[in-house]
Every structure is written in C-alpha cells, then in structure tokens.
A = this chain, B = another copy of it.
Amino acid sequence: MSTETTLLARRQRALGRHSPLMYDTPLHLVRGEGVWVEDVDGRRYLDAYNNVPHVGHCHPHVVDAICRQAATLNIHTRYLHDNVVQYAERLTATFDPSLSVAMFTCTGTEANELALRIARFVSGGTGVIVSNFSYHGNSAALAAVTTGLPAHEALAPHARAVPIPDLNHWDGDPDQLALEYANGVLEAIRSLKAAGIKPAAILCDTTFSTEGLPRVPNGFLEQAVAHVREAGGLFIADEVQGGLGRTGDHMWAHQAYGVVPDLVTLGKPLGNGHPHAGVITRPDLLDIFASSALYFNTFAGNPVSAAAGLAVLDVMEREKLMQNAKAVGKYLQQGLARLSRKHALIGSVRGSGLFFGLELLRGAGKPASEETKRLVNAMRDRGILINRIGPHDNVLKMRPPMPFSRANAELLLSTLDDALTSL
C-alpha cells in the first residue's frame, strides 16, 4: 500500500469517510508560497482556486505578525488591547460611514449566524429571503436557508428562495429583467406575510458566487432591498467569499450596487488563513441587539486574529492588490473572451477582478456539467488548480490569491486553451 493510500485510509478512519476531499485522486499539498502550492512529490501547481490565502500563501508579513503576537499575548477581548481596536477602526474605514462598528467572529458561518440574529432582534421578524442556489454556512439556522448544496435539507418554513437574474441568458431590456426578478422578491415577501411571517432579512452574497457568478442587471438588488425594507426587513450582504478587494473595482462587492447594506458579513480572506471573520454594521442596530442579548466569542478578535487582519490590510495597501485585481482581472476577461470565440463549449465569461468563471454549455444551451468536471481534472493534470460552481456545476470557478500576476494569467489562459482543446 502506498503512503498516499495509507494516509487516505487513516484519514477516513479518523475524520469519517464522508469528510469532503477535492478531485477523484486527492491532492496532497505540503507547501505554499505566493500563488503556488507544491504537493508531496515536489510538483508545483498554480493556485487559481484558493481565496483564503488572500495576499498569497504564507505571506511573510502576515506570518511574522501572527508569530510575534502569538509569542507575546493571545487572549480573549474582555481585557483591553490595542490590536482589536486598531483593526476595527481600519476595517470599518473601508465601508460606508454608516457602517462603523465591527463585531468579530471566527468563521463566516458565525458571522452570518450573528447577522441573522441581529436582523431578527431589530426587525422583530423571522423570515429570511435567500437566492435559490446559495450557501451561507454550516450551522442549523444557516442550513435551514441553504439552497445551494447537493444534499441540502428542506428549506425552513420561514425561508423563501428567489431566482437571481442573469444577463448572460437575456437578450431583452436589462431594466425589464431587473424589475421582473425584483418582483420575485416582492412575491416572496407576500408569501411570508400570507403565512403570518414577518421578514427579518434578505441575505445574499453580493458576488452571487455559489449561483455561478451571474451578470446581475443594475437595479435588481436595489429594488429587491427596497421591497424588503418596506416590509420591515434588513439587508445582509455576505462578503465572506468575494470581499476584500477581490472584484477589483471596490473593496467590497456590495459597493458596486446603489444600496448600502444594514449588515455585512466577512470571512475567508480576512486573516489569510487564520480563522478570523466578522460582522460590520450600524451602531444603532447593534445597540438594539445588545440591549437584550449578550454576545461574546472567546477566540474572535483576539490579539493574534487582529494582528493577522491588520497585516493583511498592510499587504493589500503596500502591494496594491486591489489595483492588481482590477488590472489582471481586465486582462483575464479579454483573454477569456478570446477563448470563448475559439471554443464552442464556452457559453459565457463571468465575474470580474480576480473572481471569474467560464460557463460551459453543450449545444442548445444545455449545461456541460460532465465536461466541466473533466476540465477541472485536466487543469490539475496540467498543474493548475481551479474548481466549478453553479446550479449545474458547469461554471469554472477561478479565485486565485490576490498577487496573481499577468504572467500567471497568461499561463492560466494558455493552459485553459490547451485543456479545452483536449476535451
């Protein structure tokens, strides 16, 4: 039995045989640096998938900040400490001025949990509107509003799922599409009300990533949120996956829309791998919540987590990573468009900045799910890590560390070209 088989067998025994693994033959990574990872046999892969190592795998500035603070003091936030205050100030400064307070958690799940709890306290309602193919976390309350997992549980009676408009599959007037789908939200509110349920919030990932990165028409989200607010509910923007400059034009994806959220949830990239997440909101909302609930999280916002978060913000600024996402993202969009003219399998090019995708369709617009899977594996064979998303698993998901360069983009594009040709 090879070492790999032994490790896999041991893993299945110790973590359970259902513990999720990527690829049919799992990858055994041992090292990472910048946009590159290396497996146990010394083979290097260009990482065009992982957004958690936001400023690059094992960035020395972040590692150094974690090491120094972990060697000095690592304790909960019920004592005063500079780091968490400084971090909250720097982080909230990147939001609309109304969103001026930060509450820290350890994971995106905890952030969405807390945001939903706050929305329910503030609104007095319990209803939640989500998109019809979305994922916001692994807790009971979030599993009850999950629509985008292969084996998701039944949607809770207080939840309504709405479709998200996609200009990729619409030839008509974009405003008309926005209006129609916003009316879908209105219908969801009416359906909740008919069941005696007051809406607490509309909760959506403002990059709509699990949904497959649809091209959402201007005005849809603005009208949808207006309907929810009219009914007394709040708008929670989930930035756990797409936030922190990734889309290139804005620090936060929701800033591309003409509506300011009531609550924003953050996660994956915040600590470059260190478990660190949070909720940004308005002080008046937090006051209402805190007047009747006590929230405390032992690890969240501790001096090490805050040091990691501060170091990530440092690197973002020093290395101009949002600007890089914009420039390299533009180059990628052009390259992907060229590929789409060459390969009939490509139905559309999606995303922006360093969160982008390719939709693969067979003839007659049929989702090419099987080919997408083969392409993900073909890219791995060629030394590049990507993945797939969307209701039909037919959208390539590409979301590399932010220092992804033009040269990395060229390699990705030429390898995609080769792999598509080989299918």
Contact = CB atoms under 8 A, between A and B. Distances in A.
A297 interface: yes
8 contacts: A14-B100, A15-B88, A16-B101, A20-B296, A28-B79, A52-B74, A140-B141, A152-B294
Contact of A80 (B11, B53, B58, B92): B11
Contact of A110 (B17, B29, B66, B110): B110
Contacts of A18: 286-287, 290-291
A292 B152 CA distance: 8
Interface string A102-122: 110011111001101100100
A117 B23 CA distance: 27
Contacts of A413: none
Give the most central of A13, A89, A299: most B CB within 10 Å: A299
A117 B309 CA distance: 31
B116 A10 contact: no
Contact of A71 (B17, B63, B89, B149): B63
Contact of A108 (B84, B140, B292, B298): B298
A273 B70 contact: yes
Nearest to A141: B140
Contacts of A195: none
Interface residues of A, number: 100
A53 B75 contact: yes
B85 A7 contact: yes
A423 interface: no
Contacts of A29: 73, 75, 79-81
A340 interface: no
B75 A267 contact: no
A43 to B, nearest CB: 13
Interface string A52-73: 1100011010110011001111
Interface string A299-314: 1111011000000000
Most chain B beta-carbon contacts within 10 A, residue among A63, A108, A290: A63
Interface stretch (A30-38, A185-193, A326-334): A30-38
A264 to B, nearest CB: 15
Contacts of A10: 85, 89
Contacts of A110: 106-107, 109-110, 138-139
Given A15-B88, A75-B52, A273-B75, A58 B70 contact: yes
A151 interface: yes
A370 interface: no
A107 B141 CA distance: 16
Contact of A293 (B108, B143, B292): B143
Contact of A79 (B26, B273, B301): B26
Contacts of A16: 101, 103, 283, 286-287, 290
B298 A107 contact: yes
Contact of A15 (B20, B82, B102, B276): B102
A58 B77 contact: no
A21 B79 contact: yes
Select the residue from A7, A109, A272, A276 with max chain B CB neighbours within 10 A.
A109
Contact of A141 (B31, B139, B287): B139
A312 B39 CA distance: 27
B74 A53 contact: yes
The 5 nearest A-B residue pairs measured at CB: A18-B290, A74-B273, A14-B88, A275-B299, A28-B80
A421 interface: no
A295 interface: yes
